Each structure stands twice: as C-alpha cells, then as structure tokens.
Structure 1
Amino acid sequence: MKRVLVLGGTGEARELAQLLADRPGLRVTSSLAGRVRDPLLPAGEVRVGGFGGADGLAEWLRRERIDAVVDATHPFARNITGNAVTAAERTGVPALVLRRPAWEPGPGDDWRPVGSLSEAAELLPGLGERIFLTTGRQGLAHFAALDLWFLVRAVDPPEPPLPARTTTVLARGPFTVDDERALLREHRIDVLVTKNSGGAMTAAKLTAARELGVPVVVVQRPPQPAAPSADSAGAAAEWLDSVLHQGDHAG
C-alpha cells in the first residue's frame, strides 16, 4: 500500500484526490488548513489542521510512512509550501508543487501589478474611491487605515481590523461575467484588487473589469521554492505514477 499526502484546499487538490480515489494499492490523505468554516471536502481521507511547521510535518511523514507529498495549496500559501518542501527534503519523501497557471493580462486590461497587499494599499488612494477587494478575509488590516469605501468578498465573515467603510459580501465561486459586471455597476466600483490566484472559478471579475474600464491592482504571487512542479491535477497524477512505481519494473 502506497501512501500519499495531498496538502489541499483548492479545486486542483480536490480534482487530484478524485483522480486517485479508486486506484488500488493507494491510500490518499488530503489535509486542509481549517481556515474555512465549511470547506468543500475532497474524496477519500481528510485531516484538518496544521502540522506544527516543517518539523511537525516531517515527523508526521515519518510516522505515517508517506511515500509522496503533493502541495496543492493556494498559490499564496507561501509558508505551507515552504514547510512541505523542507519536510520532504529532510525525510527523503518525493514532493511536488501543484499550481494552476497564473492569470495574464490581455488586450484592453488595465492591470497595476504590485508585490504585496501593503503595496496595493499604498496605490489605492490615487486610483479611486470605491474599491472591490477580493483578496480573501485575511490581510484586510493592510487597508484598515484608508479613508476609502470597500466592498469585501470572502467565503467567511472577515475579522477586524477592517476599513471603517466596508460592505461585506459572503460568496464562494465560481462567478459569471454577467454577475460580476452587475456587481461592479451596482456598487459603482472604481478599482478592483485581487491576488493573482489563477484558475477559472474567479476569473470572471477580470473580464468584467476590462469591459467596464475598471483598473485592477494585481498582487503578484510569491516566489516558489525549488521543487518539481505541475500545473494540473492530471500532470500531478502522472508524476505520482512515476515516483511511486519507479522501481516496480527494475530487473
């Protein structure tokens, strides 16, 4: 029996777990951070909660006799990814980073790339008064001191500190272009702020912003640690096949 740990919470992680669910001789455990109150659960075994950093994860990999790790967390989950790669190196367990491709600007887009949420906050006063903030409920403190109006969209209610003038919309993607266009118009949005998460579930807001001429402040992804990588669940499954059965046909 081969054992695989999938660090999940993304659509790609759920897709990978589904692809692996019925494979004989394979036991897959998906790990969720536990930051969302009602997460979408993947197929197979699920554990919720942290490991205690790289040291704790390395100990868990040894104890559970894990044969391979796939980090399929959010592109901005920098600490988790770093811990996964470090723990895998310490234990000799093969590790893969699964990341969906980043969004790329196209004709007609007005993108303002920044390196962090704090840089996004610094840029906003010169761009507009009514901001659609789609960076999730964490990190909102970076915008708390701004005297601007914010529409904040998140899966769970955000916690303070928040900007003084904030309206919250609780929703989970996927979103349609028609819905996003209507939302931008209804709230008279001047500027959209997003992380470059990639993927189709929340890309419609970028199309709506382009159609309405709304500038988009795009927080770029953090650098990825040196490790094998894949950009789809299918490619990750192929990598697992190769590393788990590497010596099966050796003479």
Structure 2
Amino acid sequence: MRILLLGGTGEARALARALHPGVEVISSLAGRVPDPALPAGQVRIGGFGGVEGMRRWLTETPVDAVVDATHPFAATITAHAAEVCADLGLPHLVLARPAWPPGDAILVSSDREAAETVAQQGFTRVFLTTGRTGVGAFRHSEAWFLIRAVTPPDADLLPRRHHVLLSRGPYRYDDELEVLRSHRIDALVTKNSGGEMTRPKLDAAAALGVPVVMVDRPAVPAGVRTVATVADAVAWLSSPAR
C-alpha cells in the first residue's frame, strides 16, 4: 500500500511512524516552517500548485489513499484534497485532533472578528497566538501585542505596538503563567487548534482570570470521513471497506 499523508503536525508524524515500513508513506509538508521535524518514510516539501497541481501529482504518482493530517486551520489544502480525491475516486480521510472545549472563551469565526472583539472589549495588552498569517488582522489595533510565532511575521502586517516572541511548542503551564504575568496580559487570542502541546496557555489564562478570544476552526468539507486519533486512522487504512 502507498499513501499520501498531508502532514506537518504531531499526529501526522505519529501516523507515519505507526505505518512505516509496512506501508509506503509519502508525507507532504508545506515548507513554511524552517527545520521541520521530519516523519518516517518519504518526504516531499512544498505546495502542489492548487487543485490542478494536486490532481496532476496524484495522477503521476498513484496512491491507494490520501490522509489529511494537516493543521485544523489549513482549510485550503483540506478543501483541495477533498475535491481532488472525490474527482479521482480516491479513498480520503481527515485526521483531526479534537477541538478544545471553548468554556468561557469568546468564540469568533475569523482573525478579523477577533481583532474587532479586542477593540470592542477594550483589551490593551494582548497575547496573540494565532500564527504569523493571522497577525495582519490586528495591524490597525491600538492595543499592545505579545505575538508568539514559529517564524517572524511580515513587517508590514505587524501592529504599531508589539513584541515578537519566536518560539515553538510544546509549552509548560508554569512558563505560560510567567508569560501572562510578566507581560501583564489582559486577553489571550488563540485559534482552537486543539491538542495538548499548546493547551497550557488556556489553563494559565483560566487560572489568572484572563479572558480568551478563540477563533473557531473551519468546518471539514461535507461528506469527508473524519477521525480523531492515529489509531482510528490506522484502522481505517487497514479496513478493506475504506
């Protein structure tokens, strides 16, 4: 069996380890993160070039199934994979880690709505953890931002008052408490990425009574099979009914 694994997440690497070497795994990474952790098996780095590029690649490199284990907010590649697999009749699965329960968080549907909420609520010192691509929605804000990202955001997207903290998880609860306290944070803005690696910031915010603005994750395309665990993905790949 050969599968295309759309990866870049811890779940994708765990799935590649679980399958390799019995299954030929070709992991595809977007290439946006420098020095990424590489999964077991073959690796390709870089985009496909949209729907047509992915369709061409899958035609030239036949696979038995496609597993999408990308970040829950990688909506474009998820939509492209769903469309191409439907067109080609390829078995297709989305492995999506469970979302965090929102609790008392202010739920919003986009980075732009999160920026509007920051302004409406009058927050002045914001811990922004939506990733480098989400920073632009806040560039006209009057608040001060502690921006945590793996790679530096483009300078023209940055708000006037900010500090960039380059960092890569996993994060510890005690460290997150210190970040919130030392920077006098009065609001946390995050995406509902789910998972344990970045969960401690939510626990720290709850302990300190810091309000959370949470961007809800995009919906998976209609009709696409979804599982929440690596074990379920392995079971699906092993099933003749897939």
RMSD: 1.2
Task: Give CA deviations for 1:65-97 in whole Å, capped at 9, x if unaligned.
Answer: 111000000101111000001110111110001
- Corresponding residue to 2:137 among 138, 142, 147: 142
Aligned to 1:210: 206
Aligned to 1:85: 82
Identity among equivalent positions (%) equals 55
Task: Give CA deviations for 1:120-151 in whole Å, capped at 9, x if unaligned.
Answer: 00010224100000001112110000111000
Aligned to 2:228: 231
How many residue pairs are counted as aligned between the two chains?
239
Matched, 1:163 2:156: no
Matched, 1:201 2:197: yes
Matched, 1:192 2:192: no
| Whole-Å separation in 2 of the counterparts to 1:87 and 1:61 | 9
Give the TM-score, by structure 2 length.
Answer: 0.96
Aligned to 1:36: 33
Give the TM-score, by structure 1 length.
Answer: 0.93
| Whole-Å separation in 2 of the counterparts to 1:127 and 1:61 | 49
| Whole-Å separation in 2 of the counterparts to 1:96 and 1:5 | 11
Deviation of residue 246 (structure 1)?
A: 5.0
Matched, 1:49 2:55: no
Deviation of residue 113 (structure 1)?
A: 0.4
| Whole-Å separation in 1 of the counterparts to 2:66 and 2:128 | 33
Matched, 1:71 2:65: no
Unaligned runs of 5+ in 1: none
- 4+ runs of 1 displaced by more than 2 Å? none
Deviation of residue 3 (structure 1)?
A: 1.1
